[in-house]
Amino acid sequence: MTASAISLGCHLSSSAGFAAMGETALAIGATTFAFFTRNPRGGNAKAVDPDDAAALRALMEEHGFGKLVAHAPYTLNLCSAKPDVIEFARRSMADDLQRMEYLPGNYYNFHPGSHVGQGIEEGIRLIVDGLNQVLFPEQATTVLLETMAGKGSEVGGTFEELARIIDGVREDQLLGVCLDTCHVWDGGYDIREHLDDVLSEFDRTIGLERLKALHLNDSKNPLASHKDRHEKIGKGTIGGETFSAVVTHPLLRNLPMILETPNELDGYAAEISLLRQLAGEA
């Protein structure tokens, strides 16, 4: 990867280990990737093999990978109405952050949570409390709050909600944001017609220095639908021209970009190739 090349990838299975994910990424033209830190439905994570982690670090260095964007299981909810669910989320996230130390300097992305009827104020309070419990000052991982579509009782459907979480966390230097294109579109931010305006709003509300990664997804739904249904790049309501603007944008092109579109590996390889063409790399 050249110094100016964009860092693109997708979610990969961790079942065969870290180095195997790196090899798979190379095979599909990726220079970053995402992986679930444990089963996406939650549960225990298998022990880390330090040699395997070292092999991935060496492969990433050799091939000029961008930062990885590990993903917490969807089932973790720091602002559940059930204390046992909150405790499980905190315990799992704390364990994940310790495990991420085998891959230092990368990202750990999570969905802020759903307040399940408790109200946004209580949801934010619980998320802040959870992050204050699990973050530790010397960690080498930056934790990313993901922008959400605002469906149901989700927290994080607006930039303001994410800013309030960050403002409440003691070790806020360890926090960033992953902007999901489908989520912000479904949440009401018009990145198709007003990408620069949305980025300006993000900067005013959160600060662009907090924007660390992107999830690149088209949407099956119209603007502000609050539904969160991903579509393949250029096949949805956001449209291919928007993604051409995203991958060439001076404020975005240097961020790791993760595809979460409805694809198998060959489909991801095709989308990675397409996005590289849009970025002027082919």
Question: 128: which 2 tokens?
Answer: 């802040």
Cα–Cα distance measured from residue 4 to residue 145, given in angstroms and rounded to the nearest whole number: 26
pTM: 0.96
SS3 218: strand
Cα–Cα distance measured from residue 148 to residue 154, given in angstroms and rounded to the nearest whole number: 7
Cα–Cα distance measured from residue 260 to residue 215, given in angstroms and rounded to the nearest whole number: 7
Q: What's residue 2's pLDDT? A: 43
Name the residues annotated as catalytic: 41, 71, 74, 111, 146, 180, 183, 215, 228, 230, 260
Q: What's residue 282's pLDDT? A: 66
Q: What's residue 42's pLDDT? A: 58
Q: What's residue 3's pLDDT? A: 41
CATH architecture of 8-278: Alpha-Beta Barrel (3.20)
Q: What's residue 83's pLDDT? A: 96
How many other C-beta atoms are found inside a 10 Å radius of the C-beta of residue 110? 25
- Local mean pLDDT, 10-residue blocks, the chain (282 residues): 76 95 98 90 80 98 97 94 95 96 97 94 98 97 97 95 98 98 98 98 98 98 96 97 97 97 97 96 78
Q: Write the single-letter amino acid at 189.
A: Y
Question: 8: which 2 tokens?
Answer: 């693109």
